[in-house]
Amino acid sequence: MKNVRIGGALGFWGDRRDAILDILNGGPLDYVMMDYLSEVTLSILQKQRLKNPQMGYAHDFVSTIKPALKLIVEKRVKLITNAGGLNPAACAQALMAMAKAEGFGQLKIGVVQGDDLFSLIEKKGADKFDFFHMETGASQNLIPGKILSANAYLGAFPIARALSMGADIVITGRVNDAALALGPLIYEFGWNENDLDLLASGTIAGHLLECGGQATGGNFNGGWQSVPDLAHLGFPIAEVSEDGSFVMTIHPGFGGLVTPAVLKEQLLYEVGDPSKYLVADVTCDLTDLEMEDLGLNRVLIKSVRGGPAPIQYKVSVCYEGGYKVSGGLIYTWPNCVAKARAGGELFLGRLKKLGLKFKDHRFSILGYDGVHGLMSRKVEDPDEVYMRLSFLVDDLPTAEKIARELTTHVLCGIPSACSLDGGRATPQKQILHWPSLIPKSMIESKISVIDSATWEGVTLEASTMTTATVGAAITEPTITEPATNEPVLGKPAPTRRAVI
């Protein structure tokens, strides 16, 4: 039976840059995926694109790939990544320029576009859209700032299409994270939109790969002391069979741990309802999923079930907010918690005296209850705590004045206060996230493949493919009456402290 080996070499923008070299040098692979994007990442990229229209992608992606490019070519490993962010065309052109300079101009780079909804909004008219908040149902009209970007989470079929067009490397914008692995599996095995169990299995393989080292013992809360050699952590590999079953493993000789306990922590990450884990291409049912520990860092996973795909894409909208200023002070024993609380009250009193108004604020006493809140096991008088103060304001001058006030409390405030941050807090312009949905019938995916002869100045919209739609088409985005295969998101249940 045919197997496809896919490695996960990056779990977020900022992850280990040497992992791509380790996973390529460590043993055989067919594909490697690198997952750069989160909602926070999109906000960061939008800030960069506002300053420079040629940016908006993970700018260090090209330099990360440069030392690995020879291995990718020699080993004929195909690379799939969403490093394109908000500007996959510019990312592809930067990568091709580097590849050509390094003597690898024969590479073909696939580019998946269509997730950026701004051009669609301009084409169809803003009155055709109301991006209801996916969780609250609030209308787009309630967004308190200017909308800066809107991106749909595309699926895996456009990636498979790019591979079928000869791409050696595929760069996408916003797709659901697991699609980076599912796309190659669709291409290799010829799966179609009706192979629901297979699509669900491939999605879960991608889901276990997407956070990199978190699937091999990194960030393991169920026995982190037992994870060997985190300094040389091996990144995850999925060996996927044509029937959808797969083995999660790492290359021999690397640190880390692959067991059912480790994988279950990653499996539960962001799935919501385990019987209805929704991605663009399928609804995944994990309730019958089986894991078998084969030993030697090998775990067999099977019996994932699939249901019809949602009829809508998830959308990430970024909009302009005010200014955030955050800083903090350390208070030491004795009575450090009382000192921190008094320091917070004093700070509010000072802002009132200075006439500085703010929209919102939060004080957190780290080392006491700053993380777990009411669930904290409070030690009433620890040796030290860190008092973090955050304020949201409308304008930069006010934010700067609040930042200046914080430093005065070292000499003019509650005793033992000292700064940990090494300087005055820097106000930050907020770009905020608004999750929504859009009918698939309104989205077209654009797939192009460029090479060294065609890469300069192209629009990267030479080939167009409309992604398959499962279910009846609807004409207006809605969250108030979701499709039967969409979860209804209500108020969260009560929280209790427990060990997974």
Per-residue pLDDT tens over the stretch 173-198: 999 999 999 999 999 999 999 999 99
* Residue 380 pLDDT class (50, 70, 90 cuts): confident
Q: Which residue has the higher pLDDT, 396 or 40?
A: 396
Stretch 68-74: mean pLDDT: 98
Q: How confident is the model at residue 496, as a pLDDT?
A: 52
Inform me whether the pLDDT recorded for 392 exceeds 70.
Answer: yes
Inform me whether the pLDDT recorded for 479 exceeds 50.
Answer: no
Stretch 106-132: mean pLDDT: 83
Helix 336-354 and helix 396-407: axis angle, to 10°? 140
82 vs 115: CA distance, rounded Å: 12
- Token pair belonging to 395: 């304008």
The ranges assigned to domains in the chain are 3-115+153-310, 319-432
- Token pair belonging to 418: 């000292």
Q: How confident is the model at residue 460, as a pLDDT?
A: 47
Cα Rg for the chain, rounded, in angstroms? 24
Share of the chain above pLDDT 90, in %: 76
Q: How confident is the model at residue 50, as a pLDDT?
A: 85
* Residue 457 pLDDT class (50, 70, 90 cuts): very low
Q: How confident is the model at residue 455, as a pLDDT?
A: 63
* Residue 422 pLDDT class (50, 70, 90 cuts): confident
Pairing between strand 463-465 and 445-450? antiparallel
Stretch 83-103: mean pLDDT: 96
Lowest mean pLDDT, pick from 58-67, 232-241, 295-304, 435-444? 435-444
Q: How confident is the model at residue 423, as a pLDDT?
A: 81
Q: How confident is the model at residue 488, as a pLDDT?
A: 36
Q: CATH number of 319-432: 3.30.70, 1.10.1660, 3.30.420, 3.90.700?
A: 3.30.70
Bridge partners (DSSP) of residue 305 are: 285
* Residue 47 pLDDT class (50, 70, 90 cuts): confident
What Å distances lie between residue 497 and 219, 270, 372, 376, 500, CA to CA? 18, 18, 9, 9, 10
Average pLDDT, the chain: 89
383 vs 330: CA distance, rounded Å: 11
444 vs 450: CA distance, rounded Å: 20
